[in-house]
Structure 1
Amino acid sequence: MIVYYRDPAVEVTSTAIHIHDRVFRLDDLEYVWHREITADPRAMRRLAGRGALNAGVVVGAVLALLGVVYLIAGAVGDPDAAGKVLVPLAVVVVLVGLAGPALEWTLHRLDHSYDQGIAMHEIWAVWRGREVLLLRVTDESRFGRIYRSIQRAMEAPR
């Protein structure tokens, strides 16, 4: 037996598709297809959160750049300003250093939201003569891996 895909809820093998506690033998499947349906409210919240994260990263970068330009411009015109500029500049450097973990978390969440997508994906099959919904997922990359594994299992000689 060949395992094409496995996660905690789904396993696709050369003989069957196991989804949660249901088992669909490949010999009983006539046709498998997928479709995309309207996003649910959770997906729409992810989209709004993605926009907020994008805006936060851009606004933070612009504010940091403006702060550094302001400090440098203030130091150029006044020779005694070097002491006045060093303390705020040191504070900016410390804040940028502390912002690294926060920025890492923000970018990770942003990547994760793009991986999941905002659409709901369904995998359907004709099983023993009737149409059956095999699986519904919102994670686009997981959906792609599962659907491709089902295709490979169905196309493989038995």
Structure 2
Amino acid sequence: MVTYYRDATVEITSDRLRVGPAGYPISALHRVWHRRGSRRWSGVVNRGALGLLMLGPLVAATFGILVALLLETSIAVTAAIVAGSVVVGLAAVPVADLLLDQVDRSYDRGTRELELWALIGGAPVRLLHSTDARRFNQIYRALQRAVESSGVRS
């Protein structure tokens, strides 16, 4: 018996698919497919907010430099404002790295409900639903491999 995927709630082997308490023989699964649900706008808004947070220090630095150049002050004061603005702009680099990591994680989580379906005994059965895109794709690929290796047509 080959194990294609296993976590706390899903196990896919060459013989069976187990999702929570439900179990199905791989040979009983016919025409396996997936469906994407409607978009969750909270995930999209979250990504947009992260983008704005990354741009904030850069916009503030640019604004500071423009103000320093437009003000009619001594060269020392203008240089101090420009230097402070550059420091604020440079502070955006480590912050941007942390925020980009959060953006990557938001893509892993996904913005849609994903569903895994199969025909079992002629009736469509929803096997799994998740918003975790990475996990869902791993499960779907593992199930495809299990079905293909068993000779069942998907």
Shorter-chain TM-score tier: 0.7 to 0.9
> TM-score, with normalisation over the residues of structure 2?
0.76
Structure 2 residue aligned with 1:155, among 144, 148, 151? 148
* 1:126 matches 2:119: yes
Task: Count residues in correspondence.
Answer: 151
CA drift at 1:85:
5.8
Structure 1 residue aligned with 2:98, among 86, 92, 105? 105
CA distance in 1, matches of 2:130, 2:50: 24
Runs of 5+ consecutive residues of structure 1 not aligned to the other structure: none
Aligned-partner SS, 1:38: strand
Q: Deviations over 1:115-148 (max 9, x none)?
A: 3322211111122343211001112222222111
CA distance in 1, matches of 2:18, 2:81: 60
CA distance in 1, matches of 2:89, 2:34: 46
1:28 maps to: 28
Work out whether residues 117 and 126 of structure 2, in 8 Å CA contact, stay in contact via their aligned partners in 1: yes
**Cα distance 1:67–1:144, how it changes in 2: closer, same or farther (>3 A)?**
same
2:9 maps to: 9
Q: Which aligned pairs between 1:5-154 and structure 2 lie closer than 5 A?
A: 5-39=5-39, 43-68=40-65, 73=69, 81-82=75-76, 84=77, 102-154=95-147
> TM-score, with normalisation over the residues of structure 1?
0.74
